[in-house]
A and B are shown apart, each in its own frame.
Chain A
Amino acid sequence: MEHQSASGIERKLIYDRNDVPDSWWDLLRGGAGEAPFIRGAYPEMYRSKPWRIFQLSGFGSPEDMNARLKFLLKAGETGIIVKHDRMTDDHLYDVDHPEVAERREDVGLTGTVTVGLRDYQTIMDGIPIESVYAKPGGGVPQSAPYTQSSYWSVALSRGLKLSQIAGTGQSDFFLTYLGCPCKEQIPPEAALRFNLDIIEFCNEHMPKWVPVSIAGYNGADSGLNAPQELAAVLSTAVEYLDGIQARGRLKPADFAHQIGGVNFRVSMDFFEEIAKLRVARKMWHDLLLNRYGISDPKASRMRIHVVTAGSAMTYQEPFNNIVRGTVMALASALGGTQSLGVSGYDEALSIPSDHAHLMSIRIQQVLQEETGLTSVVDPLGGSFYIESLCNELEKRAWEVFDEIQGQGGFVATVQNGWLRGRASDEQTAQAKRFEANEMKLVGVNAHLVDDPIMHVDGFEGRSGDVTWAQAMERLTVLRRERHTTATMTALRELEGVCRGDGNIVPAVMGAVQADASIGEIGQVFRDAFGVWNVSENQFGV
């Protein structure tokens, strides 16, 4: 057993009051819901509102997606997430694009495949948009305007107003410029513009919508350790805060609350992850106060969504991952998350089967209903070890933050490969600890048995070429039935906005509503902004 945390903080045998400075104890005088929010974002936390059960889901056709969402809602999920096919949605390719056609069997395996707005109508069929909290997609900046516009357009077609729609976008840099880059995507500077446009658009029209959610998860599951994850998340926020401020229309105090809904990864270092969530809230509060002079709790209260680490889920003996999921879910709750997705126990094999999905919900329900966990706010508050860890993590995270700012900020460290280098170094170091048996994974390198009796096939769904052929048919119908002149006009308008400095969101919505296909919108972006060059260097190899 190593006596240091996952990020390398030494673990003493036992902690006492002297391990925590007096200045830190002073911070804890206020309760939850009070600055600097170490003890929780809200005064009553789970006693008045348990965390939202919010599972990533998506595969196959829009009909498959619709059925899975209904299944999850029936099982007790309290928000919906639509995961889109990475080949078509994240890349903004039509299904007949050569990159897709040559891998047609993969279509629908990483999310549901859409060809245009009509498919969003199918996905949401029978699901009450007016009362559901949704993340309709758009994990990747270049696809966020399309996916969100499509979802909002479905809501509008049902007679709702934009101001009534509740949910969240993501548009995360870590996913697509650090962990899972697309083959072709707009450069980070253009992605930043997209996000700033979405923030400004939502500021004006959509008070119930979280326009962007910085996803430290994707940085952490690509290797970043806890202080790096914290620092990189806050540095991303600085890009948004400074970027919008520089546009001159809004002051940080007008919109900071819109970007305080953040996504973190919680992995298996139980105490460090609890401490990370607690200190993340303090750092967000301090950043807004010290750098922008904002003290309004509406803005300085960070809300957290946690996804448990996919990388912690093992391929061997997959049922052990139900235990891992439970431990990570418990840490997330003890850290005070507002919503939670637990990775499927079959994560290392496939996207979640219906059974794995149900287990991820059941883990959370058991914790919420059967353990007393939701009665007391911040039950670990005042623990010598936890508070000491928070204090240490904060120090280390600000050091990394300064290092990022010193290089010109978050986007600069994406561009110059520094962030990828840190992630690569960390994941290599972790792999080496595993190889040296310093890091144990039960059922993988420890306590092996001849026959673990845990055979899991992983989810395959219907054959991808069927999903692809159906989508090809829908695309043909779309192109045949739409008002081509209106579509082309809307696409030209979009291109004009892209090349100018107007807000792209209304223009994308116009194109979506004129039945432009996903690939046509993507082509406008690629023409207007060019494509980011993913060099080997940027991937730290």
Chain B
Amino acid sequence: MSNQNEFRAKVLIAKTSLDGHWRGVSLVARALRDAGFEVILGGMLRPSQIAQVARDEDVDLVGLNVGGRIEVVYRIMDELKAVGLDGIPVFCGGTVPPGAASKLRELGVEVYPPGTTLAAIAEAAHRLTSGI
């Protein structure tokens, strides 16, 4: 699929919460790797750490596994702004109820709830990083 010379978009995958469920994270991370992305698996990072890693690793896209409340996602968006990454594409999956999903979409965060195919997630990642 991809070779060493080809540009590979870089995605940070992180869990917003300490709930620990890795099923979705590992599935999505593996799928994105298989789709040719360079995946930084951040794990359970604090909001401030997510922003730092996104900046330090110069990632093109932030993927969040939301296992908690969306207020934590708001904080992550603030932290991303604070490190100069406002406008970086962010998408998320996880246990996000419909009401919370609408609020996140208003914020510009794309939401891919359980039941989304891995192909659709990879397609979204390609689209979100295609302008680079």
Q: What residues of chain A lie closer than 8 Å to B21, measured between beta carbons?
A: 179-180
- Per-position 1/0 for B12-37, Cβ under 8 A of A: 00001111111101110111010000
Residue contact A176 to B118, C-beta cutoff 8 Å: no
Contacting pair B95 A103 (CB below 8 A)? no
Interchain CB contact (< 8 A) of A99 among B29, B46, B95, B114: B46
Assess whether B43 is interfacial by the CB under 8 Å rule.
yes
Residues of B within 8 A of A458 (CB): 95, 97-100
**Listed stretches B3-11, B53-61, B65-73, B82-90; interface member:** B65-73
Q: Is the CB of A541 within 8 A of B99?
A: no
| A270 beta carbon closer than 8 Å to chain B | no
Task: Tell whether, in the assembled complex, residue A183 and residue B44 are in contact, meaning their CB atoms are under 8 Å apart.
Answer: yes
- Would you call A457 and B97 a contact (CB within 8 A)? yes
Q: Is B52 an interface residue (CB 8 A)?
A: no
Complex Cα–Cα for A315 and B68 (A): 16
Please state if B20 and A176 are interface contacts (CB–CB under 8 Å). yes
Task: Give how many B residues have a beta carbon under 8 Å from the other chain's beta carbons.
Answer: 40
CB–CB A103/B72 < 8 A:
yes
List of A residues within 8 angstroms of B107 by Cβ = none
Interchain CB contact under 8 A, B68 and A428: no
Cβ–Cβ contact A86 & B18, under 8 A? yes
A541 in contact with B97 (CB, 8 Å) = no
Pair B43/A183 contact, Cβ less than 8 Å: yes
Contact A349 to B97, CB < 8 A, known contacts A86-B18, A179-B23, A183-B43: yes
Assess the A103–B20 pair: CB atoms within 8 A.
Answer: no
Contact of A435 among B44, B68, B117 (CB under 8 A): B117
Residues of B within 8 A of A465 (CB): 71
Is B41 positioned at the interface, with any CB of A under 8 Å from its CB? yes
Nearest B residue to A98 by beta-carbon distance? B46
B129 at the interface (CB under 8 A from A): no
| Chain B residue nearest in CB terms to A316 | B115
Residues of B within 8 A of A457 (CB): 97-99
| Distance between B112 CB and nearest chain A CB, rounded to angstroms | 10
Q: Are A424 and B18 in contact (CB under 8 A)?
A: no
For window 89-124 of B, CB contacts with A under 8 Å fall at 95-100, 113-115, 117-119
Decide if B39 is an interface residue (CB 8 Å cutoff): yes
Instruction: Assess the B41–A431 pair: CB atoms within 8 A.
Output: no
A86 to B68, CA, bound (A): 11
Interface status of A182 (Cβ within 8 A of chain B): yes
CB atoms of B47 and A102 under 8 A apart: yes
For residue B81, CB closer than 8 A to chain A, the reply is no
8 Å CB contact of B95 from A91, A316, A349, A431: A349
What is the CA–CA distance of A222 and B27 in the complex, to the nearest angstrom? Answer: 10
> For residue A428, which residues in chain B have a CB less than 8 angstroms away from its CB?
27, 30-31
Contact B43 A86 (CB under 8 A): no
What residues on B are CB-neighbors of A348 within 8 Å?
Answer: 95, 113-115
> Which residue among B16, B19, B75 has the maximum number of chain A CB atoms within 10 Å of its CB?
B19
Question: B20: which of A98, A180, A427 is its contact (CB, 8 Å)?
Answer: A180
Alpha-carbon gap, A435 to B30, bound state (A): 15
- CB within 8 Å of B: which A51-94 residues: 86-87, 90-91
From the candidates B17, B98, B114, name the one contacting A455 in the complex (CB within 8 A). B98
Question: B76 CB to closest chain A CB, in angstroms?
Answer: 10
Binary contact track A516-541/B, C-beta < 8 Å → 1, others 0: 00000000000000000010100111
Interface assignment of A493: CB less than 8 Å from any CB of chain B? no
Given A222-B22, A457-B97, A540-B26, residue A106 in contact with residue B72 (CB < 8 A): yes
A445 to B25, CA, bound (A): 21
B24 to chain A, nearest CB (A): 9
* A105 touches which of B20, B26, B72, B113 (Cβ 8 Å): B72
**Which residue of chain A has the shortest Cβ distance to B79 in the bound complex?**
A102
The B-contacting residues of A in range 289-322, CB under 8 angstroms, are: 311, 314-316
Can you give 22 contacting A-B residue pairs, CB < 8 Å? A90-B20, A98-B46, A102-B47, A103-B47, A103-B72, A105-B69, A105-B71, A109-B69, A182-B20, A221-B23, A348-B113, A349-B96, A424-B26, A431-B118, A434-B117, A444-B115, A458-B95, A458-B97, A460-B69, A464-B71, A536-B41, A539-B25
Nearest 4 Cβ contacts at the A-B interface? A458-B97, A180-B20, A106-B68, A105-B71
Chain B positions near chain A (C-beta within 8 angstroms): 16-23, 25-27, 29-31, 33, 39, 41, 43-44, 46-48, 67-69, 71-72, 75, 95-100, 113-115, 117-119
Interface residues of A (CB under 8 A from B): 86-87, 90-91, 98-100, 102-103, 105-106, 109-110, 176, 179-183, 221-223, 311, 314-316, 348-350, 424, 427-428, 431-432, 434-435, 441, 444-445, 455-458, 460, 464-465, 534, 536, 539-541
19 new A-B contacts at CB < 8 Å, known A106-B17, A176-B20, A456-B98: A99-B46, A102-B46, A103-B18, A110-B67, A180-B19, A183-B44, A221-B23, A222-B23, A223-B23, A311-B23, A316-B115, A348-B95, A428-B30, A435-B118, A457-B99, A458-B98, A460-B97, A534-B43, A539-B22
